[in-house]
A = this chain, B = another copy of it.
Amino acid sequence: MASTNSNPHTNDFQHVAFLVVDMINDFSFKDGDQLYKHTLPVAKNIANLKKRAKKLDIPVLYVNDNYGRWQSDFPGIVNEMRRTERGSKIIDLIEPDDDDYFVLKPQYSAFYMTPLELLLDYLNVKSLIIAGIAGNMCVHFTANDAYMRHYNLYIPSDCTASNSKFENEQALHLMEQVLKAETIVSTDLDLKKI
């Protein structure tokens, strides 16, 4: 279990973290069908990128909606979502590991009313790779807040999904233009050079 007393991630070269946004999900909301359809292939890309990140000892942070469950129980939310067909299909692909970090968020941005910024400071992070859903909602809100806090942003174009391809591409384009985010596909992202 990660603790502030024995941070495994604070070597001098460590400055990047991988955020996985709202992928622990049962898609039981309006347009959930559509979002799920676009999310499934993306989950595989996120899984591959996560594997590469962990090999380089890049910390992985699951930042996820608390779905109005105020019990600070991320494992409980994972279990609950896994009981649904869609939730389990996604979780099978991007299963959280014991040495990952988990931050529950009550709103769209992962920085709003959460300790995320403290955790990133403690991990000495200056650059963020952001993946997850929805590209034009929680990913975009989180990226905006990260930009105001001066993080360098990497948002691989094949690792986010939205209700439609158009909306996702529009969000990616905006994050590239406005937030100076790097948005190449994950397989072209050289994690050693971030």
Contact = CB atoms under 8 A, between A and B. Distances in A.
A194 interface: no
A170 B174 contact: yes
- The size bracket of the interface on A is 35 or more
Q: Copy number of this protein in the oligomer?
A: 4
A137 interface: yes
A113 B103 contact: no
Given A74-B73, A178-B137, A106 B115 contact: yes
A69 B118 contact: no
A169 to B, nearest CB: 12
Contact of A141 (B1, B113, B148): B148
A104 interface: yes
Interface in A126-140: 136-137, 140
A70 B106 contact: no
A72 B76 CA distance: 10
Interface string A104-119: 1111110011110111
The 4 residue pairs across chains A and B that have the minimum distance between CB atoms: A4-B68, A72-B74, A3-B68, A113-B115
Given A104-B115, A106-B115, 16 more contacts: A3-B69, A5-B68, A66-B115, A70-B103, A71-B75, A72-B102, A72-B104, A73-B73, A75-B75, A105-B115, A108-B144, A112-B148, A113-B115, A113-B117, A144-B144, A170-B170
